[in-house]
Amino acid sequence: MNTNTQRLFYSTACPTIVNRAGWGARPPRGTPAALPRPVPTVIIHHGGTQSFCTNQTRCAELVRAYQNHHMDTNGWLDIGYHFVVGEDGRVYEGRGWTRQGAHAGGCNARSIGIAFIGDFTSKSICTVYQHDTY
């Protein structure tokens, strides 16, 4: 295992969490249902777009685009993910820990959804997300 991979999976450092105000979130259209705890499942997604980011300004812009798509196109109350991870090494708060997501039909009432910005169908996530902050 190379040093970057070790840091990616074994670091004890905590990433910076950008709250909703920090990325310019719109207010939700309503209050999503409470998420019962403990939550037994974490579902990892990729954003599904060929847009990537390496700084907070660009990552926040993409998180807003996800929220706009989820609310305006899908008709959801808010961004569907609980958290979004950017290439800048930051975690962007979506629905947070206490509200049900809209990211995995049939599993939303028992899972936390975490999305990585970008599309990793043809690009390795390990190549992109090699930061000392993980």
Annotated domain spans of the chain: 3-27+35-128
Please, are residues 8 and 126 in contact by the beta-carbon 8 Å criterion? yes
Give the pLDDT score at 131. 45
CB neighbours of residue 42 within 10 Å: 11
Q: What architecture is the 3-27+35-128 domain classified under in CATH?
A: 3-Layer(aba) Sandwich (3.40)
Please, are residues 126 and 65 in contact by the beta-carbon 8 Å criterion? no
Give the pLDDT score at 118. 79
Of 118, 122, 100, nearest to 109 (Cα)? 100
Give the pLDDT score at 7. 47
Distances (CA, A) of 41 to 47, 93, 97, 111, 114: 19, 18, 12, 5, 11
Please, are residues 65 and 92 in contact by the beta-carbon 8 Å criterion? no
Question: Per-residue pLDDT for the chain (134 aa), expressed as one digit of tens each?
Answer: 444 444 445 556 788 999 999 999 999 999 999 999 899 999 998 877 778 888 999 999 999 999 999 999 999 999 999 999 998 889 999 999 999 999 988 899 999 999 999 776 765 545 444 444 43
Give the pLDDT score at 92. 97
Give the pLDDT score at 124. 52
